[in-house]
Structure 1
Amino acid sequence: MAVREALVVGLPVLATAVGGQGERAHDGLRLLPPDAPDALIAEHLAALPVRDTLTGESLPRAPRLWSLTTAWQRPGKRRVETLFVTANLNAGGAQRSLVNLVTQIAAQHPLAVAVCGETTQRAFADTLAQHGVETFRPTAQADPYALAESLLGWAGAHALRTLCFWNVDPKVKLLLARVAPAELRLIDVSPGHYAFAELDGVANFAAAIDLDVAAYYARLDVLVLKYHATDTPPCRRTIVIANGVATASRAAPAPAVPRFLVSGRIAPSKRLKTVLTAFAQVQRDQPTAELHLVGQAEARHAACLAELRVQASGLAVYFRGADPTMSYRCEPFTAAVVLGTHQGSPNAVLEAMAAGLPVIANASGGTGGIVRAGKTGWLLPEHCTAAELAAAMLESFAQPARSTFLGTAGRAYVRAHHDLEVMAARYLDLLKSPNPSRSR
């Protein structure tokens, strides 16, 4: 590590080719034989130029990697089989899926949930507490090394069998894959290409800890996808477990005026500017039309929310904030609108369909397998325009019989293919299966 750190900050290094030193290749590293005489070492040192400035590499330093290798070496008594690791418990689709899952299986499988970051609303945490699910924050620090060290220490102290990543900082995942013991099974539940791109985006960090992204996937025991995606990374085992939701007790009634729903996180990836542009066209044609946005923006997306409020000025757009209980599903809506980029198996789509709401969505990620044009909803091109969206919204109001048909068909489809109990049973089978034998 001393050699690595010196090279990263731009210092030339003179070292003997012992241990792993001989495997390093770097312009700033000069290797001498292990038995090099003092005179030869002095000669090389004297040949190094005196410099006024140092030019470091772009690679981040990894000064604490060595300490992680011992964090898990304090074995204790097993009382938890699986630790789910997530970024937060805010009102997002990934977090809702996690809460849906663990509350379903906690009585049958000993588990806990580690929440790495700040949580801005209490609803999901309260739900977990009501079901007796142990939830904790590994450390108050956002530093990925501190998080990985705490998680490994917890895993060792509880003789954990499985770490399951569920929407986690890619740096934390890389660190855990780098130093976790071979007997600790690693499962990554990935929404698809969005998560793959996140890992690719920290390639410098991966290089700094001597674990590239390909090696991360090779270390995984299971990669769980939400839909049958193409161009997935090569892993030891890849399976598909689609999201599941509970079917609403009754279908939502039809509204008297055009009334549209958008639910979920407020973020740039949700293409809400396109939705607002489309709604402006709808309102010009139907002045009584309304658009209800149910969801919240995280602090990092505050600017996005501010821009949307400016764009919505003068329109019948209602920013209603988060509603973790989903009480809005019982309200009369013409249709639910769901646009996105790199979608997985969107809960916003499934939850609307489960309530009998007609859905208008773009064919991003797994959405195209759920919303089928003319059969379970309106399916628009992945990069649809505001005009295309507006046309579908107007059509959903102008053709109430067709909307009712699509809402009923969508509800039946979710009940048959995206049932919450089926999803829970599949995860339970995976978590209860024996750990594969492997060597590191």
Structure 2
Amino acid sequence: MKKSSVVIAGGGSTFTPGIVLMLLDHLERFPIRQIKFYDNDAKRQEIIAKSCEILLRERAPEIAFSYTTDPEQAFTDVDFVMAHIRVGKYAMREQDEKIPMRYNVLGQETCGPGGIAYGMRSIGAIIEMIDFMEKYSPNAWMLNYSNPAAIVAEATRRLRPKSKIINICDMPVGIEERMAAILGLKSRKEMQVMYYGLNHFGWWSDIRDSAGRDLMPRIKEHVAKYGYVVNPKAHQETEPSWNDTYAKAKDVYAVDPDTLPNTYLKYYLFPDYVVKHTDPNHTRANEVMEHREKNVFAIAREIIEKGTAKECKFEADAHATYIVDLADAIATNTKARMLLIVENGGAIENFDPTAMVEIPCIVGSNGYEKVCIGRIPQFQKGLMEQQVSVEKLVVEAWISGSYQKLWQALTLSKTVPSASVAKQILDDLIVANRAYWPELK
């Protein structure tokens, strides 16, 4: 079996060690000859990379390892680029979350004004990496799960339509794992799903087991009472903000009990609730910086200090399995059925053919084939048309440097109450993002 060479773009990310562990866990089905890290922040990357170097030396010494800030070194001789970059890091995420809150508008990483700001920072970096990949390894595939995936996917469709890039998101995977736990199944892979929508903006319309039995009624019964909280008797299953999101799915589900919703829909359907339950001075970015950031870097430094990863506390991230499944499907032509973010092209019959939609696809060595969804209900169609217009306007604003288009995008977002509020938020975001956005006129 051919061994692959992988570059992880975003080598300094706190999620990178989890991806490395997941790759090591699946070497029998996705063998690797080389892992490289690439990041534009050498200092940050070095800490994560040195700890992973020790980990790899102890667990898989046959895999070549290197890390670099040089694009030519990083992107030469690779089969897969696994991209999960965060332009502006958590300092800018904090701005994305706190600036809208000044105007009683929710601040969130990928939804509403925060997601728009983050998208405007991400587009240029992703396009640059596609160009590096095509220059130095023209046969490679980019598996991109950099947020905000919807805006990034629309930008790649517009600016690099022929590129070998597949945009994915792990959020539906995480929810499906919860569904499987609710049903008492070992894994989400025991379920076959129909799902449609945009990234962080979708619905499950059908879920069956391998024998074709309908699993929706049992999941719906649980969600109607408890949302996606698997064990309601347990005081806390996860971090408080996530626990609230999983519980709130109960109210999101009530709006359309024919389908099961992605949790992110709470930001669009209940923005007032989100604002009321958010501390404007201490947002999710602060939680992550105080916990995940500190913990992962502390573990990395401890490994470097001790010179061994024998009792390593790094954890394999759930989303990393999805990346391995996708790489494996392409490398070994498994024809796996996976949710991808792809150009609609008629898969959803009564929706914009140029929209980047999240739907099931069959993945093999030639890429993917879309599963036909057919017609979708008016409620979902209406919401999706509004949101896809926001995403398209953001990309248009980035390409043309248009203040007007970005103001329109913010005004059209379901999370923003008026054009005047949209303008105030935009003006503040422009100041905060001077170092990252193209100049708007």
TM interval, short-chain normalised: 0.3 to 0.5
Of structures 1 and 2, the larger Rg is shown by 1
